[in-house]
Amino acid sequence: MQRIMRMLVVMVVALPSALVAQQAVGGANIIHEQYLGVDRAVFAEYFGMLNQKYEGTDATGWGIYFEGPKVAYRLTAVPAESGMEGVVEVLNERVAGFQGFTEAQRQLWSTAWSSRRQSVYLALPELSYLPDDMSIETILANPYSRVMIYHVKPSEMQNFQDALARRGELDRSVGIDNLILRVYRGGMGTPAPVYMLRFHAESQEADALGRAERQAARQGIMEEWRETNRVMSAAAHHVESFVNYRNNELSRRGNR
């Protein structure tokens, strides 16, 4: 783990200063970790141990999401003002924490999953669709996430972003207020260019009901709204769609 984390830290530090400035201005980053081959019981024991280990400290928090029995994610938000330097700080914090593990804790870490992939995503608040009172409580109360990942053609990035922005404008024009959408652009460790859209809801049933209500509200703008979706789809050479369920008990409060 120390070697992997240090390699990622070195890669981040080596980024050009222009990219660091871009990340800091663009909004909060997230460290996005995908775990494959998860042993659900050991995985839960490991993150339960981490929660206990860091209880009462100012250690960075995280959100744990499950896609299925064998696939899980940890999302760690990094304060907007800290930019990529904040990512480095979080990774260094984790390396230091791992150095203090007992042998039993290291054993948990080594058996909780078969492989892990880390990447960094940049939040795009100007393309997101969030309630005015958005907070960690909003995320805790809406543990269901419908995730869409668009692998966009390099020449179509602006068209994709313009269409997504226009879609949001259209929804606001008809007063839609039951949509929680967070948008990210892929950074280090992701295919380029890639965009991740995370739709949050209380449950799968609530998500389906909300989608039906929004479609009804869009009747007067439906033709143009569908055109924005067509442009987004045409801009991408591949689109992934899957569902995440946040486990609030294994997550650590302190970020999204």
Which residues are CB-contacts of 146 (< 8 A; sequence separation ≥ 6)?
198, 199, 201, 207, 241, 243
The predicted-structure confidence for 106-118, as pLDDT tens digits, reads as follows 999 999 999 999 9
Name the DSSP class of 105: H
The predicted-structure confidence for 1-15, as pLDDT tens digits, reads as follows 544 444 444 444 433
Q: Which residues pair with residue 145 across a beta bridge?
A: 200, 244
SS3 55: coil
- Return d(Cα 40, Cα 29) in angstroms, integer: 27
All domains of the chain, ordered by start, with CATH?
2-121 (3.30.70.100), 136-244 (3.30.70.100)
The predicted-structure confidence for 208-235, as pLDDT tens digits, reads as follows 999 999 999 999 999 999 999 999 999 9
Helical spans, DSSP H, in the chain: 2-13, 17-26, 40-54, 83-99, 103-111, 136-141, 157-173, 204-217, 222-235
| The model's pTM | 0.87
Q: Residue 136: its pLDDT value, please?
A: 87
Q: How many CB atoms lie within 10 A of CB 99?
A: 9
Residue 98 scores a pLDDT above 90: yes
Q: How many CB atoms lie within 10 A of CB 205?
A: 10
Find the length of the chain: 256
Confidence of residue 204 (pLDDT cuts 50, 70, 90): very high
Q: Residue 80: its pLDDT value, please?
A: 66
- On whether the CB atoms of residues 79 and 27 are closer than 8 A, the answer is no
Whether the link from the prior residue into 193 is cis, omega within 30° of 0, is yes
Which of 46-55, 80-89, 166-175 is the least confident region? Answer: 80-89
